[in-house]
Amino acid sequence: MPDDAWDIIMKVHVRAPFRLIRAAPPFTRIKAEPGNPPENRSIINVSSTSGLHGNVGQANYAAAKSAIVGFTKTIAREWGAFGVRANTVAFGYILTR
């Protein structure tokens, strides 16, 4: 796989979510007032079963989606104190018939 194929997938699937979440703290990381529960805030990232298990011919995509899982776990740990939940949804092919 050429470098540009690797780089474009990383830009779309890792850098873009990072930039969006990096802009979120003024709206999400707000301390609750004493005696009042924090507002319900959450971040939902999209991964793939390729990021969890790998997939033949998709090293770049699998690595990017795996990075999203780690990124989301880090956000959950860092922002949990501010009442922000962070979750990842890992979609995949499901044979239904």
Q: Which residue has the tokens 């990383």?
A: 10
How confident is the model over 42-68, as pLDDT tens digits?
A: 999 999 999 999 989 999 999 999 999
For the chain, the average pLDDT equals 91
What is the CA angle 27-32-38, rounded to 5? 80
93 included as an active-site residue: no
Say what percent of the chain tops pLDDT 70. 100
Of these residues, 17, 61, 66, 71, which one is catalytic? 61
pLDDT of residue 52: 92
Is the pLDDT assigned to residue 94 strictly greater than 80? no
Q: CA nearest 41: which of 69, 10, 88, 82? A: 82
What are the tokens at 62?
């699998």
